[in-house]
Amino acid sequence: MSQPDFAKLQSIIDGALLLPGSAAYESARSLWNALIDRRPTAILQAAHKHDVVAGVRFARSAEMKVSVRGGGHNIAGTASGDGMLMIDLSGMNGVSTDPDNRMVIVEGGATLHDLDGATTRHGLATPGGVVSSTGVAGLTLGGGFGWLSRLHGLAADNVLSVELVTVQGELIVADLAQNTELFWGLRGGSGNFGVATAITFQLHDVPNDVLFGPTFFALDDASQVLRQYRDFAVNAPRQCCVWADLMTAPPAPFLPECYHGEKVLGLMQCFIGEAEEGEAVLSPLREFAKPLGHAVTARPYIEAQQFLDETYAKGLRNYWKSGNFTTLPNGAIDDLVELARSMPTPQSDILFSQLGGKIGDVASHDTAFPHRDVGFVVTPGARWESAGDDEICMRWIEEADTVLSRHEDGGQYVNFVAERDGGEDRAYGSNLERLRRLKALYDPDNIFASNQNIRPAA
Ligand code: FAD
């Protein structure tokens, strides 16, 4: 096949078209996960939605597959594909808040940092994730949960409408009144159906300050602390969200120096509400065992949203496995604590994300996100700096996978699937067949192929 006419594409867009060989191309193809090293044929850096339309139409006529880059965070590196046209939306990061109607319109390449920065000025927010450099669209299309989700649901549950460029290169809107089946699929079916150029979300009041921060415990106490954490989670109020992390202690001033660099258990706590009420809810956690250090305090909500940014900064090599748990059986807890003893690098961890609350108010078939009864998503993650550590880190993740598969419930959060192919059965669960029919309608030739891919129904 002859080389597509990229000069022609450049002539009709306002953004940049980057081809291999330039420093700008190299920078644009680099993703959060440094393990990913794919080479798109070209990268279209869209300046606005009409560039996206032009890019999709061009790709179709050139018979190219399209990958979409938002925040570039996906662990499987789905934003990039060898031989594909990458449509990079990172320049389309505008956020327009309408405080009177408690709504916000977010462009397709905005990050949580952009979103929270715009809405919290009005005392408003919508659920997102816990690291602010994550792309809003990528997170939302797969579901999206964070500190607000037990109170206000998934990011996807707060979507009012999606503006989408279809595979035909047409701009359409999907919401509860038009393109309703597509709207269903966009809330959990990830980037399979087109390019979201803008998403409108419902906003909620957030107090300026929330009670937020970690309490650390010794690894030797982790098994019994995690048992109590599991039991605490059952009756925890929805304003409260606690994630546990088996990790290496940071050199934090509130931790005695002798624990810096030791393996520990952290309970990262968030309470959205009155500080006094939050203190009453969260203080029992400090009684689970003798804490090594404690830094739960009233902080601006936006600070809580950025608290973990440095820990999960771009540029390390990353590989992880993830499994859904309705609850945490004692055997799983003991095996995971044992696994933590052999974490291969100080940046590696085993993260327990607490779900439940409002997320579970929605039925599994009401949106494409099926995992409504999940209590915890458990994610052992290896993070490392140099290729020399690839083998030891991969081996640890293989062990982690064995542990998870012994205990997990079978499903997996689509945004945490670390391989680009093969995870769709577990990710989409009982919604997969309906999603396949939708894919056949909206992308029958599977042009949008770089994602947790849904094969079009025959
Ligand atoms: P990208 O890699 O840019 O995109 C990923 C995929 O999303 C693309 O391949 C495409 O299919 C799709 N996509 C992105 N933008 C668009 C668009 N505008 N239109 C159509 N498709 C699009 N998830 C949570 O739910 N909660 C968390 O707290 C959380 N924390 C995370 C922390 C870190 C450090 C990391 C690495 C990930 C985290 N995630 C979390 C997972 C995150 O939701 C996924 O990685 C998600 O894919 C990121 O979206 P992105 O736009 O940044 O990624």
Per DSSP, the three-state class of 221 is: helix
Q: What is the pLDDT of residues 317-337, one digit of tens each?
A: 999 999 999 999 999 999 999
Ligand 1: which of 51, 69, 73, 87 to mutate, judged by most atoms within 8 Å of the beta carbon? 73
**Cβ of 442 below 6 Å from ligand 1:** no
Given the CA of residue 413, which atom of ligand 1 is nearest to it?
25
Please determine, for residue 299, whether its predicted confidence score (pLDDT) is greater than 60: yes
Q: Over the stretch 164-184, which tens digit does the pLDDT of each residue have?
A: 999 999 999 999 999 999 999
How many angstroms is it from 330 CA to the middle of ligand 1? 32
39 contact partners, CB below 8 Å, separation of at least 6: 20, 29, 80, 82, 83
Report pLDDT for 422: 83
Q: What is the per-residue pLDDT across 12-26, written as a single tens digit (0 to 9) for each?
A: 999 999 999 999 999
Beta bridge mates, 106: 95, 199
Averaged pLDDT for residues 243-258: 96
Q: Give the strand pairing for 171-175 and 159-165.
A: antiparallel
Q: How far away, in angstroms, is 2 Cα from ligand 1 center?
A: 33
Q: Residue 144: CB within 6 Å of ligand 1?
A: yes
Q: Residue length, the chain?
A: 458
Nearest CA to ligand 1 atom 40: 129
pLDDT > 70? residue 127: yes
Three-state secondary structure readout of 390-458: HHHHHHHHHHHHHHHHHHCCCCCCHHHCCCCCCCHHHHHHHHHHHHHHHHHHHCCCCCECCCCCCCCCC
Q: Does ligand 1 come within 6 angstroms of the Cβ of 179?
A: no
In three-state secondary structure terms, 209 is strand
Tens of pLDDT, residue by residue over 378-430, are 999 999 999 999 999 999 999 999 999 999 998 999 999 998 888 899 999 99
Q: Are 328 and 424 in contact (CB under 8 A)?
A: no
> Whole-angstrom Cα distance, residue 184 to residue 207?
31
Burial class (CB in 10 A: 0-12, 13-18, 19+), 19: middle
User: How far, in Å, from the CA of 72 to the mean position of ligand 1?
Assistant: 7
- Ligand 1 centre from 71 Cα, in Å? 7
Is there an atom of ligand 1 within 6 Å of 191 CB?
Answer: yes
**Average pLDDT of the segment spanning 105-120:** 98
Q: Which atom of ligand 1 is nearest to the CA of 79?
A: 9
Nearest CA to ligand 1 atom 45: 74
Query: How many other CB atoms are there within 10 angstroms of residue 421's CB atom?
Result: 10
Percentage of residues of the chain with pLDDT beyond 70: 100
Closest Cα to atom 26 of ligand 1:
129
Q: What pLDDT does residue 1 have? A: 56
Residue 288 CA to ligand 1 center (angstroms) comes to 34
Render pLDDT for 62-85 as a digit per residue (tens, 0 to 9): 999 999 999 999 999 999 999 999
Asked whether 451 lines ligand 1 (CB < 6 A), one says yes
**Structure tokens of 191?**
């980037």
- The average confidence (pLDDT) of the chain is 97
In angstroms, what is the span from residue 320 Cα to ligand 1's centroid?
Answer: 15
Q: Which atom of ligand 1 is nearest to the CA of 452?
A: 11
Which ligand 1 atom is nearest residue 448's CA?
11
Tokens 């669209």 belong to which residue? 137
Look at residue 405 in the predicted model and tell me its pLDDT: 95
Kindly report the protein residue whose alpha carbon is nearest to atom 29 of ligand 1.
129
Ligand 1 atom showing the smallest separation from residue 136 Cα = 51
Give pLDDT, residue 410.
87
Q: Check pLDDT > 90 for residue 362.
A: yes
- Ligand 1 close to Cβ of residue 56 (< 6 A): no
Q: What is the pLDDT of residues 253-281, one digit of tens each?
A: 999 999 999 999 999 999 999 999 999 99
Tell me which of 85, 126, 134, 268 to substitute to probe ligand 1's pocket, judged by most ligand atoms within 8 Å of the beta carbon: 134
For residue 209, what are the contacts with CB-CB under 8 A and spacing of at least 6?
275, 298, 299, 300, 301
CA–centroid distance, 292 to ligand 1, in Å, is: 34
Q: Quick check: CB of 319 below 6 Å from ligand 1?
A: no
Does the Cβ of 81 fall within 6 Å of ligand 1? no
Comparing 291-305, 369-383, 415-429, which segment has the lowest mean pLDDT?
415-429
Q: How far is the CA of 69 from the centre of ligand 1 (A)?
A: 9
Report the nearest-CA residue for atom 33 of ligand 1.
131
Asked if residue 79 has its Cβ within 6 Å of ligand 1, the reply is yes
User: What is the DSSP-derived secondary structure letter of residue 135?
Assistant: B
Taking residue 208's Cβ as centre, other Cβ atoms within 10 Å add up to: 11
- Strands 16-18 and 42-45 turn out to be antiparallel
